């Protein structure tokens, strides 16, 4: 059972503000406050896995069933001490590696980055 109602508008705003400050990408720490909402947004199609990373997308079809499924999937990660484990549902990498990806993407030519992004999403 999830003891709180997720507020995706706040979660999305937090993630977008972090994207704005970096201009290219952001790192989600799965021990952080936005982890559960990120995982549910991933399940709903707002983020698509490309290798060990995720690309922000607009879901092609989103309905109440997809939302319910995302919430139930997260709830199923609950352990015997009532802690949720969003890390079970997404690809992860060490923080230092995530930062290295951020630097690599920030230094990449914008046109090349966009072309690579389109290839990864196909």
Residue 15 in domain: yes
Q: Within a domain: residue 1?
A: no
Q: What is the pLDDT of residue 87?
A: 93
Number of structural domains the chain divides into:
1
Examine residue 45 and state whether it is found in any structural domain, yes or no.
yes
CA distance 109 to 82: 45
Task: Check: CB of residue 75 under 8 Å from CB of residue 2.
Answer: yes
Per DSSP, 52 falls in state T
Its pTM stands at 0.78
Identify whether 82 is part of a domain. yes
| Predicted local confidence at residue 4, as pLDDT | 63
- Which of 25, 44, 26, 23 is closest to 34 using CA atoms? 26
Polymer length in residues for the chain: 122
**Would you say residue 116 lies in a domain?**
yes
Which portions of the chain are predicted below pLDDT 70?
1-5, 22-23, 113, 117-122
Is 95 a domain residue?
yes
For residue 58, the enclosing domain spans 8-121
40 within some domain: yes
* pLDDT single digits (tens) 80-99: 998 899 999 999 989 898 88
Q: Is residue 2 part of a domain?
A: no
For position 46, what pLDDT does the model report? 92
The contacts of residue 94 (CB under 8 Å, 6+ apart) are: none
7: Cβ–Cβ under 8 A, 6 or more apart, which residues? 37
């Amino acid at each position: 059972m999830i003891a709180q109602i997720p507020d995706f508008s706040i979660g999305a705003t937090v993630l977008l503000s972090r994207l704005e400050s970096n201009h290219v990408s952001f790192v989600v720490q799965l021990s952080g406050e936005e982890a559960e909402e990120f995982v549910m947004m991933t399940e709903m199609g707002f983020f698509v896995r490309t290798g060990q990373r995720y690309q922000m997308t607009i879901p092609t079809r989103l309905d109440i069933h997809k939302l319910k499924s995302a919430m139930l999937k997260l709830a199923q990660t609950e352990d015997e001490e009532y802690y949720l484990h969003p890390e079970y549902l997404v690809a992860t990498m060490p923080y230092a590696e995530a930062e290295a990806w951020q630097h690599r993407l920030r230094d990449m030519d914008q046109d090349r980055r966009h072309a690579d992004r389109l290839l990864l999403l196909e």
